[in-house]
Amino acid sequence: MDAFSKGQEIDRVITVPDMGVTMTHFTGVKASDYYKSAELMAELEVALFKRLNHDSVSISTSLRGVAEAMGAIVAYPDYNISYLESPVITSPKELDRLKVCNPLTDGNLPTLLKAIRLTCDALIKDVDVSAAMSGPISVAASVIGTENLLKWMIKHPKELHHVMEVVTESNDRYIDEVAKLGVSIGFADPVSSTSLLSVKQFRAFSLPYLRKNIERVTKKTGGAPGIHICGTSKDIWMDVVDAGISNFSIDNAEDIEEAKQLIGDRVIITGNVPPVDVLYLGTKEDIFNSVKECINKGHDSKKGYILSTGCQIPMNTPIEKIEMFMQAADTYGKYPII
């Protein structure tokens, strides 16, 4: 991974399945326990790496981590991913309640920072370790609620911009602390998807704040961040690339070949085996065929290609399915690709 990041020649396609909390069944722990334990988070990453030998591991805030640190109430089911129970505020009249979070004391962020440290201690000599967090518009969706977010774009744009400023500063505070740990940082930003927002809405309410967070990461870590956007995103690819990212992970709703042609000369392309239809529900043949197709499309992208899933692998996906994914990568991903 180090050679790849430096633009040096490598002998195979870098492979990084998108996992995390949805693989807690592999270590036999409850998701609710995992979320609250830095040790369990690190243990899962270590166990997965020992089994799969993939090229990068990551500790994520989830979509709600920073919002929770700002005061949102998050529910933690025993055997499923966390979800928003109640936002921080629901009315523009409550704006004075919004406060920039302190990642050293607020919410679950101290646990996440400890998990990153523990994972680095255990694995940094063997594999790339990174941190993942939500883009500011995705955090805002948990701060005021997604429905309110969309309404405020029309009815209360000024107030929404205030929310975005506070969220962006909260993200920056977390970025600062993660950067001290010496790891790279990437964003997951599903609310920026054009499956949800118009391009105009994205440019008005997401892009300016996303750009600020990207600039903060680049300044503090010395490397530009990557980003994953769920659903459709082609109409904003150029905007996001212009904002300064280094790696664009695209959902399986989009086409790697098209991404390669449009932005592959500027950023690494990552993706995009369908996590549900292929990895969770598919056969070994389905997995091998999909991996082969992705590699054939992406391997010659000018800035590089990383094989991954189109989004996070679903909860309770058998580890054997992910082993098939890794086996297919080994089968079809040796350079030169024929």
338 found inside a domain: no
Task: For residue 255, give every residue at least 6 positions away whose Cβ sits within 8 Å of its Cβ, in sequence order, or none.
Answer: 297
In 10 A of CB 302, how many CB atoms? 13
Q: What pLDDT does 142 receive?
A: 98
Query: Mean pLDDT for each 10-residue chunk of the chain (338 residues)?
Result: 61 96 97 98 98 98 97 98 98 97 98 98 97 98 98 98 98 98 98 98 98 98 98 98 98 98 98 98 98 97 97 97 98 90
User: Model confidence over 225-263: pLDDT tens digits?
Assistant: 999 999 999 999 999 999 999 999 999 999 999 999 999
Determine the Cα–Cα distance for residues 186 and 133; give it in Å rounded to an integer.
6
3-state DSSP: the chain helix, strand, coil percent, rounded to 5? Answer: 50, 15, 35
Domain total in the chain:
1
271 found inside a domain: yes
User: Model confidence over 108-118: pLDDT tens digits?
Assistant: 999 999 999 99
User: Model confidence over 177-193: pLDDT tens digits?
Assistant: 999 999 999 999 999 99
61 found inside a domain: yes
Q: What pLDDT does 171 receive?
A: 98
Structure tokens at 10: 């490598």
Burial tier of 195 (Cβ tally within 10 Å: 0-12, 13-18, 19+): middle
236 found inside a domain: yes
32 found inside a domain: yes
27 found inside a domain: yes
194 found inside a domain: yes
Kindly give the residue spans of alpha helices, DSSP state H, lying in the chain: 2-5, 24-27, 31-35, 38-52, 65-69, 109-123, 136-144, 146-155, 157-179, 199-201, 207-221, 237-242, 256-263, 284-298, 319-332
Determine the Cα–Cα distance for residues 337 and 322; give it in Å rounded to an integer.
22
Q: What pLDDT does 336 receive?
A: 86
- One-letter amino acid of 76: Y
We report the CATH number of the domain holding residue 115 as 3.20.20.210
Instruction: Give the structural domain span for 81.
Output: 2-332
